[in-house]
Chain A
Amino acid sequence: MASGVKPRVKVPKTAAAGEAVTIKTLISHNMESGQRKDKEGNVIPRSIINRFTCDFNGENVIDITLEPAISTNPYFEFQALVPEAGEFKFTWYDDDGSVYEDSKKIALG
């Protein structure tokens, strides 16, 4: 696992049924592009988050393929529909096989 990787998500605590909510996500990650060289001139191997998904109660909101051109500490903002109370699940997939997860409950209100 790459060191210091920590997901953050921002989701409102409540929403009306059928409401659109704005979600922000940020994960601390170097996103080593595979384009850089170290001091000895060797290429530093690519090591990035290559996929991010957001689901709500098992139904997909967004599925993003990331390439090395996504900045360090990948940030996404998008909107989700909240048909009922439930839980958002966020998943980040690392090149090294690690999977980072976070989840947020949202109540109707």
Chain B
Amino acid sequence: MNKLTGAILATLLTTTVALADPVDDNLVLNEETQIVTRTAAPAHLSDVLDEVMSGWLFRGTETRAMQADDFDNPGMIFVEQAMETWDAVDGTEGKSCSSCHNDIDSMAGVKPTYPKWDAKAGTVQTLQMQVNECRTERMGAEAWDYDKGAAINMEAALSSVSRGMPVNVAIDGPAQSTWEQGKEMYYTRTGQLELSCANCHEDNYGMMIRADHLSQGQINGFPAYRLKNTKLNGAHDRFKGCIRDTRAETYSPGSAEFIALELYVASRGNGLSVEGPSIRN
């Protein structure tokens, strides 16, 4: 019996160790777009991390494969819905997104720089806030609810045309104080479990948390199609889930706190490719 238990334990440990490291794999979308899923950490992280890695490297073989082809990627269903919205007139001004921006392909390069400082608004804005600014101020349409259907689908569509481009959010200049606020949040323990973002995603990435594989918590793949709820999920919604799991009162998607956290977490992935809509667990 002891021998048997020993053998089982050895197998379990081997399996766990084998699973714990991120895979050594290469993501090419539709056999043409090379995605950078690991690269040297940006300068502001150099004292804590050597390398930054996409969450894609921490997922299973089948999940990784599902993202490599746009037809296999169910997140693209929602992108297609947003592409139709892009051309649909909405609001009192009789305009669609394409009235001003033409084809959505012309938006390539926009997603990698968000969240960013908006001089007119005098604040850091996320891409969804920018979209809502267009809707309310230029289209005369109603703002979309944060991280909900239409908004998250549009963010995914805007992300999809930038896939393969490096995340490149500015952390200095007028955005710096917001970035500092996000950084403070990242390293602050919260909730009854007293966990900070860093406890899991900086100190223990690669380890198993129960049966799940802890990633670096990068958001270059957001919006992400999650297998667990079979829809697109925004970064703020994901933050909310993590904070809830520390058993803390959480913030709302679209809140000032999550905008700051999004800027900081995005900056930890500067240099990784935009992947959204990615496939995650």
Is there direct touching of A and B in the complex, by C-beta distance under 8 Å?
A: yes
A interface residues, Cβ below 8 angstroms from B: 4, 6, 8, 10, 24, 26, 28, 71-73, 75
Q: Is the CB of B77 within 8 A of A6?
A: yes
Interface of A is mostly: loop
CB-CB < 8 A to A8: which residues of B? 71, 77, 80
Is B92 an interface residue when CB atoms closer than 8 A count as contact? no
For residues 49 through 85 of chain B, which have their beta carbon under 8 Å from a beta carbon of chain A? 71-72, 74, 77, 80-81
Q: Is the CB of A4 within 8 A of B71?
A: no
* One of A4, A71, A72, A75 near B72 (C-beta < 8 A): A75
Q: Is the CB of A24 within 8 A of B72?
A: yes
Q: Is the CB of B74 within 8 A of A73?
A: yes
Beyond A4-B81, A8-B77, A73-B77, whether A26 also contacts B230 by CB under 8 A is no
Q: How many of chain B's residues have a CB under 8 angstroms from any CB in A?
A: 7
Beyond A71-B230, A72-B230, A73-B230, whether A10 also contacts B71 by CB under 8 A is yes
CB-CB < 8 A to B77: which residues of A? 6, 8, 26, 28, 73
- Cα–Cα distance between A107 and B230 once the two chains are bound (Å): 36
CB-CB < 8 A to B230: which residues of A? 71-73
Distance in angstroms from A10 CB to nearest chain B CB is: 5
What are 22 of the A-B contact pairs (CB < 8 Å)? A4-B81, A6-B77, A6-B80, A6-B81, A8-B71, A8-B77, A8-B80, A10-B71, A24-B71, A24-B72, A26-B71, A26-B74, A26-B77, A28-B77, A71-B230, A72-B74, A72-B230, A73-B74, A73-B77, A73-B230, A75-B72, A75-B74
- Cα–Cα distance between A10 and B73 once the two chains are bound (Å): 13
Distance in angstroms from A7 CB to nearest chain B CB is: 10
- Cα–Cα distance between A92 and B281 once the two chains are bound (Å): 28
CB-CB < 8 A to B81: which residues of A? 4, 6
Distance in angstroms from B164 CB to nearest chain A CB is: 21
For residues 80 through 101 of chain B, which have their beta carbon under 8 Å from a beta carbon of chain A? 80-81
- Cα–Cα distance between A24 and B72 once the two chains are bound (Å): 8
Distance in angstroms from A29 CB to nearest chain B CB is: 10
- Cα–Cα distance between A6 and B77 once the two chains are bound (Å): 8
Instruction: Return the chain A residue nearest B66 by Cβ.
Output: A75
CB-CB < 8 A to A24: which residues of B? 71-72
- Cα–Cα distance between A10 and B77 once the two chains are bound (Å): 13
| Additional 13 contacts, C-beta under 8 A, given A6-B77, A72-B230 | A4-B81, A6-B80, A8-B71, A8-B77, A10-B71, A24-B71, A24-B72, A26-B77, A28-B77, A73-B74, A73-B77, A75-B72, A75-B74
